[in-house]
Amino acid sequence: MKDNMRTLIFAGVLGLICALVLAGVSQLTAPYRQANERAEEVRNYLSALGVPGWQGVSSSELLKVFEQNIRVDQQGKRTVYEYIPSSLSQAKPIAVAVPFSGTGLWGPIRGVLALEPDFTTIRGIRFFDQQETPGLGGEIGAKWFQDQFVGKRIVSAGGDPGFRITKPGGSTQINSVDGITGATMTSERVQVILDNLAKELLKEKSSHVQ
Amino acid sequence: MSSDSQSRQSTALPVSRVNYLGIVKDGVYRTNPVTYQVLGICIFLAITTKVENALVMGFALIFVTAMSNLIVSLLRNSIPRRIRMIAEVAIIATFVIFFDQFLKAFYWDMSKQLGPYVALIITNCIVMGRAEAFAIQNPPLPSLVDGIANGIGYALILVLIALFRELIGFGTILGYTVLSPQWYQRNILFIMAPGAFFMAGFLIWVLNFINPPKQAEAGK
């Protein structure tokens, strides 16, 4: 009985100390972590849109660049990030970015697709928040993979909305890019995400015009 | 309680004659966590694709094993026997989460690359193994040394394997191109898990050849 009490008290005290330590650490690091997370997202938007002045700056400066150049616009259910350079007085965006998300191989994939004002030509793409296999599927976060998208379109040559990720070296269409060797599963899932996004965007665009 | 701890004294060292050099040799080489005990292989497979990741993970392991060994050793006479493993895990988890939060706050990019594997140190058998096999029955200072030595032993193997995997798999070392992609066809096998198994098996074979394990000799 005495032993049981001792065990209970020990467990309680140890648990309490551990919890207090962790709560303290979490409190202390929270502002840094949140700033990092926010800056990460903002950096992806800026680099996908091709906004200058985001490289090698601190998190707070990054947010400033973002606020000066990006207008967040709600179009129906979709949030659109419009790039309107602070240096120009024009009100028309020179590029737009739409966030997207979907299921990857190991976890959710989130990213942002930047398009030219025509809403069909790709200006840039960034995948962030992904847990694909490092070195394989994780390469969707790499520059070489993302650079392939620049100048491609989310509409086929025949005018049908959609996007393809082909076998490595097999990309010949205006709306396709090469997949990643050894990461067929990730490539397939990314294709599903982008294909759906392309179709949704084009549908929304046509309803806008009407 | 005292009879409990006495029954577990079999491998404990007398306080007066602690062989620190022996502890270090055991942890780093003679009973190396990876090549001799074959522990912590999950993290080992996952993060040895790049030297940079291996360095950070090695440092994390040294930190966590050393600190949890120290605390477990300090509490070794007051931890009730029945819940000692739970207590050990709680202590280990605290340090691991501490390190994970630290990375997220100050080394964001590295934290992103290592992904869930920092948190997975909690389940790394080396940390738990050292707490259970050494710290729970030895004084604080030898336990701290044992933790550091085993952490270093783990880190060395991580970095060694990562050197080969990054070189063969990506043609780079620490991100710098060594084998030019113009004439070098990168070997993806070495980035995937089987590559790590081959490398680990090969390394264990070489080490056992140089320095045969004691049981094998006794069996002859």
Please identify which residue in the block is written with the tokens 């694709």: B49
Query: Does position A169 have pLDDT exceeding 90, yes or no?
Result: no
Q: Tell me: pLDDT of B3 over 60.
A: no
Whether the CB of B194 is below 8 Å from some CB of chain A: the reply is: no
Residue B136's pLDDT band, with cuts at 50, 70 and 90, is very high
User: Is A47 within a domain?
Assistant: no
Domain holding B129, by residue range, is: 2-9+18-213
Residue B215, number of CB atoms within 10 A of its CB: 7
Residue B213 has pLDDT above 60, yes or no: yes
Model confidence pLDDT, tens digit, residues A51-102: 887 777 777 788 888 888 888 888 878 888 888 887 776 678 889 999 999 9
- Residue A38: inside a domain: no
Which residues in chain A touch residue B82, judged by CB atoms under 8 angstroms apart? 7
A192 in a structural domain:
yes
A11 — phi, psi (to 5°)? -60, -45
Test B102 with A18 for CB contact under 8 angstroms. Answer: no
- Indicate the pTM of the whole model: 0.73
- Please tell me the predicted confidence (pLDDT) of residue B57: 93
Helix/strand/coil (H/E/C) assignment for every residue in chain B: CHHHHHHCHHHCCCHHHCCHHHHHHHHHHHCCCCCCCCCCHHHHHHHCCCHHHHHHHHHHHHHHHHHHHHHHHHCCCCCCHHHHHHHHHHHHHHHHHHHHHHHHHHCHHHHHHHHHHCHHHHHCHHHHHHHHHCHHHCCHHHHHHHHHHHHHHHHHHHHHHHHHHHHHHHCEECCEECCCCCCCCCCHHHCCHHHHHHHHHHHHHHHHHHCCCHHHHHHC
Q: Are A180 and A136 in contact (CB under 8 A)?
A: yes
Over residues B39-69, the pLDDT tens digits come to 888 888 888 888 999 999 999 999 999 999 9
How many domains would you assign to chain A?
A: 1
Asked, for residue B170, whether it belongs to a domain, the answer is: yes
Residue A12, pLDDT above cutoff 50: yes
Instruction: Indicate whether A11 belongs to any domain.
Output: no
Cβ count near A180 (within 10 Å)? 24
Residue A7 lies in a domain: no
The answer to whether position B35 is within a domain reads yes
> CB contact, 8 Å: B104 with chain A?
yes
CA A69 to CA A86: how far, in whole Å? 5
Q: Is B192 on the interface with A (CB under 8 A)?
A: yes
Collapsing DSSP to helix, strand or coil, A48 comes out as helix
Q: Is residue A42 part of a domain?
A: no
The predicted model gives A101-120 an average pLDDT of 90
A115 three-class SS: strand
pLDDT, position B217: 52
Residue B204 in domain: yes
B2 pLDDT above the threshold of 50: no
Tell me the ipTM for this assembly: 0.76
A31 belongs to a structural domain: no
Residues in B closer than 8 angstroms to A10, CB to CB, are 78-80, 83, 87
Domain that holds residue A204: 71-209
> What is the per-residue pLDDT across A16-56, written as a single tens digit (0 to 9) for each?
999 999 999 999 999 998 888 888 888 888 988 888 877 77
Instruction: Please report which confidence band the pLDDT of residue B7 belongs to, taking 50, 70 and 90 as the band edges.
Output: very low
Is B130 domain-assigned?
yes
Average pLDDT score over residue span B158-172: 91
N residues, chain B: 220
pLDDT of residue B215 exceeding 70: no
Residue B5's pLDDT band, with cuts at 50, 70 and 90, is: very low
Mean pLDDT of chain B: 85
Q: Is the pLDDT of residue B6 over 50?
A: no
Q: Min CA distance, A172 vs chain B (Å)? A: 23
Residues in chain A: 210
Whether B105 is covered by a domain: the verdict is: yes
Kindly state whether residue B67 falls inside one of the protein's structural domains: yes
Cβ atoms of residues A202 and A194 within 8 Å: no
pLDDT at B11: 55
Residue A14 belongs to a domain? no
Q: What span, in angstroms and rounded, lies between the C-alpha atoms of A125 and A130?
A: 14
Evaluate whether residue B220 is within a structural domain.
no
> How many structural domains is chain B composed of?
1
Specify whether the CB–CB gap between B105 and B86 falls below 8 A: no
- Report the candidate in A169, A161, A159 with the shortest Cα–Cα distance to residue A194: A161
Any domain includes B219? no
pLDDT on residue B123: 86
